Structure 1
């Protein structure tokens, strides 16, 4: 009995220590969006516009499959739309749109701007029916003085279709480690490997876009293993002039190298150009906190962050936050307070 107690004690202690080493975050619902949405089958990207006239559309309950609401046996494209008003009390809040589970593929717009997607539409179709949809709403996108519009483009290949289940609403993302520069959201993304992709002059305009954080299997291609690159251009505020900063890249599966303005500034694991030499040792579970030198970033200008990733198997990519740049002084103070 004493041995069992000892094992349980240290197991709980270990879990507590692991939890203490993770930044605290929670999601608090501020607007419930379950209920009636406008709905129509077919496909037209003009339906994403806030002023699109949907008065003649059908009304469906969300969440629930469309087959049980009159569209029996329908497979293919369809759109959902809903208007909402949000209190000005949340102007400074970090907002996330929860859309539950969607069968099979979705693309979500707020006030006409695409904020996220999962799965891939035809002709390169793959499903993401088992991925919970959580999409960051960029700052400045919400109109706090009137109506806002959510438009959801959906493709269903077979069986049940639509916004099936889960939490649907707008949530406040409450964090105790908030970056000075947010890097969550869409990044440019390309599979393969080319060191020239680290250059700030490289033209990535034809690259795919992928949500960070999030596994690339849910957004780009199922069962892809190997090299891939992420790129993001970001304006560094003048307020960070002369200050040391920490680049937080959350968790990456499996190995990574980070370049800023073409310079290699950090890495986790040992990555070789020859794929057969790359080996993983639980790097996927490590938080990426990269301590930058003052010269690594250029305040007041657009900087290019490029992340080279090698995935050994199963899920891959920058899959968990926090993602952003934070002043070193604030970062150190946070961990001292923990």
Structure 2
């Protein structure tokens, strides 16, 4: 890498099972930036709309024929609901039959005031902010949610349902070029891990414990700064966790873990074993050289030895982050896993 990337293997307390050989291979080159986003389907227009809150409204088969219709993007105050603060839902239906086949789709909802949960065919695909009683606004967060392929109905109708809570002033799907997008000609991992991750502030390493552990956790979108997801101005330690199923088709494959860019420094674990780190972690107490080499600009590309990942089973990625100034967290992609062979093939084509 062109940057001064220092990879260390510092053991944490409670981690007694670190194995040797995690850093035998040199770091792969950073992935190139994705090319321009391509709009696949424009979703601006009239959406079904209802005040109130009912979890049944997320379901694909819910009958919303008696709901109001309002335009998105635009505040609901400007469409007959002046002064309303509280819960409301949007719903719309789309069909992909006539759309060119794409591997990875993203739902862009622009800016929502204040908090949202977004569902596709009843499945949660995105969340920004915090609902009462732990209210945290995310009015300034740009909503771009990855859609897992298995959630899509590629031969029929699909239903997007957006649950919103507005605390004050304007509310709703406010602005942005909302729609379905793909990264045209861009770099995409074999296993896309963008989306909802468990999140916890502090530095107690509970995410690394095996089995059932009783601890509080939050849900955050990755990639996106935590500051625009309800943790404005938070500086310090935080942990991310993602559990995913690795298909047997990847058995025996050497894999590359892509974590995009992280603000500021990180240590990353797969199934409890450290596979990479960026920044200076040889400190006591709190890091003081967290931005010595502009670590927040460095693409995290970590080789994962075959013996660590378990094909045909669930696997867990845990990322320990320290942010010392301004925005923090896993904030830029791509985020996912790619085979070493596919990674190399992509660069040979460039």
Shorter-chain TM-score: which interval?
0.7 to 0.9
**C-alpha displacement at 1:285, in angstroms?**
0.6
The unaligned stretches of length 5 or more in structure 2 are 1-29
1:262 aligns with 2:272: yes
**C-alpha displacement at 1:321, in angstroms?**
0.6
C-alpha contact (below 8 Å) 2:74/2:175 kept by paired residues: yes
Question: Which residues of 2 match residues 165-176 of structure 1 at below 5 A?
Answer: 165-176=175-186
Pick 1 or 2: higher relative contact order, CA cutoff 8 A, min separation 6.
2
The structure 2 residue matched to 1:327, chosen from 317, 325, 339, is 339
The unaligned stretches of length 5 or more in structure 1 are 1-19
Which SS does the other structure have where 2:184 is aligned? strand
Find the counterpart in structure 2 of residue 307 from structure 1: 319
Find the counterpart in structure 1 of residue 228 from structure 2: 218
Classify 1:267/1:202 alpha carbon distance in 2 versus 1 (closer, same or farther; 3 Å). Answer: farther
**C-alpha displacement at 1:243, in angstroms?**
3.0
- Equivalenced residues, count: 319
The structure 1 residue matched to 2:303, chosen from 272, 275, 291, is 291
CA distance in 2, matches of 1:167, 1:21: 27
| Structure (1 or 2) with the greater helix fraction | 1
**C-alpha displacement at 1:204, in angstroms?**
7.3
C-alpha contact (below 8 Å) 1:179/1:325 kept by paired residues: yes
The structure 2 residue matched to 1:275, chosen from 286, 292, 295, is 286
Instruction: Give the root-mean-square deviation of aligned CA atoms.
Output: 2.2
C-alpha contact (below 8 Å) 1:23/1:175 kept by paired residues: no
Find the counterpart in structure 1 of residue 121 from structure 2: 111
Task: Normalising by structure 2, report the TM-score.
Answer: 0.84
CA distance in 1, matches of 2:322, 2:205: 13
**C-alpha displacement at 1:273, in angstroms?**
5.6
Task: Normalising by structure 1, report the TM-score.
Answer: 0.87
The structure 1 residue matched to 2:106, chosen from 79, 84, 96, is 96
Question: Which residues of 2 match residues 50-129 of structure 1 at below 5 A?
Answer: 50-87=60-97, 89-90=99-100, 92-129=102-139
Find the counterpart in structure 2 of residue 5 from structure 1: none
C-alpha contact (below 8 Å) 1:104/1:127 kept by paired residues: yes
**C-alpha displacement at 1:46, in angstroms?**
1.8
Find the counterpart in structure 2 of residue 132 from structure 1: 142
The structure 1 residue matched to 2:249, chosen from 239, 260, 268, is 239
